[in-house]
Amino acid sequence: MTVLASALACVAATRASAQSVPFIDTEDATLSNVDVGEGAIHPIVSFDVRNGDYARGAYDDDDAGLGRVPVHVAAGGAAVLKRHADGQGVLFLVGQSSNGFHAPRSGERARPRSWYESNTIVGLAWRPVAGLSAAAAYAIKASPNGVAGTTHEASLTFLYTGKDALGFLAPRFAATTRTKGQGGVYTIIGIAPAVPLTRAESGATLTMPVSVGAGWRSFYAAESGDRVYGSAGMSVAQPLKIAGAKASLQGEILAVVRDRQLRRLDAPGGTTASVVPLATISLAMAW
C-alpha cells in the first residue's frame, strides 16, 4: 500500500460496486481499485491534509510535524477502453496529477512559493483475469517553486483482489526506474486487508496496510547504495454520497521505519528518527 497517498485508494475500501477502475498512485506507482458510476469516462478527485510529506520512506520537502501541515489536491480519472463480454472493463487509460502546497520556508523563493510539488502520472492498465490488475505507467515529478529538481519515472505495477484468501490480503507490487534525474530502481511490495466495521451497505471499513520498499543502485541519492524501509498502520474509511459521486472520507495513521542510511539522508530538512509517524485525513470522490 502507498505509504503516504492512500487518499485516492480510500474509495476502494468501500463495499464493492457494480463497476470499479484501476488507479495508479503518483508517489510510488502502486495500484488500487476505485468504485465508480456507470459509463466509460470516470473523473476522480481527492483532497488531503497531512502532518508531513515522506514519499517512499524518505523526506519529500515537508517534515513530519505540525509546523506547515501540507495539503495535497489531486485530479485525474480513468477511461474504459475495452470490456469483456459481461460488460466488465478489461483495458483502461488512467492518469492523475497530484499537487502539494504548504507554508514556504525562507529558502523557497521561486513563485508560487507555496506550491512545492506537482506529480503527474499516466498509465495503461489491464485486467487479464478477475481480481488481477496490471499497469505500465510513466510519471513526471516537478517542483513548481524550485525546491527540488524534475525527475521522470517508468513503472510496472500489479494488484490482486480476487475473491479468495490471497485476494483478501490485496497484495500489490510495483517496480520503478528513473529515466531522468537520479537513477536507480525502486520496488515496493505490500498488502492491505480490509474488513467492514458494520453490516450496513454504507458502513465504515477498516484497512490495515503493510508494505516494504527498497531503493536499489543509489535510487534515493548519489552513492546512497541500497536502502530499505517498512511501514504499517491502519485507516478507517466512511463511504459518502457527494454531488452524485461515490465518495469516501478517510483517516489514516502509519508508522514508517527506515534503515540508518535512509535516516541520515533526510538531514538537515527532515527528521533522522528511526520511526516516523504519519497521519492523513482525506476526502476522495469518483464519478
Query: What CATH number corresponds to the domain at position 17?
Result: 2.40.160.40
Rg value, the chain, Cα: 18
Residue 210 lies in a domain: yes
Residue 254 lies in a domain: yes
| Count of domains observed in the chain | 1
Residue 72: give the domain boundaries.
8-286
Q: Are strands 132-142 and 115-126 parallel, antiparallel or unpaired?
A: antiparallel
The grid cell for 7 is 487518499
Contacts for 15 with CB less than 8 Å, ≥ 6 apart: 196, 201, 202, 203, 205, 239
- Type of residue found at 70: P
Cα(139)–Cα(151) distance, integer angstroms: 8
Residue 2 lies in a domain: no
Angle 189-47-42 from CA coordinates, rounded to 5°:
80
Residue 100 lies in a domain: yes
Instruction: Tell me: cis bond preceding 268? Omega within 30 of 0 counts.
Output: yes
Residue 3 lies in a domain: no
Give, for all 287 residues of the chain, the pLDDT tens digit: 443 345 445 454 444 447 999 999 999 999 999 999 999 999 999 999 999 999 999 999 888 887 788 999 999 999 999 998 888 899 999 999 999 999 887 777 778 989 999 999 999 999 999 999 999 999 999 999 988 899 999 999 999 999 999 999 999 999 999 999 989 999 999 999 999 999 888 899 999 999 999 999 999 999 899 999 999 999 999 999 999 999 999 999 999 999 999 999 998 888 899 999 999 999 999 99
Contacts for 234 with CB less than 8 Å, ≥ 6 apart: 206, 207, 208, 209, 252, 253
Residue 109 lies in a domain: yes
The grid cell for 155 is 513503472
Q: Exposure of 124 by Cβ count < 10 A (0-12 exposed, 13-18 middle, 19+ buried)?
A: middle
44 and 78 Cβ atoms separated by less than 8 Å = yes
114 and 151 Cβ atoms separated by less than 8 Å = no
Cα(12)–Cα(214) distance, integer angstroms: 25
Enumerate the H helices of the chain as residue ranges: 165-169, 260-265
Residue 46 lies in a domain: yes
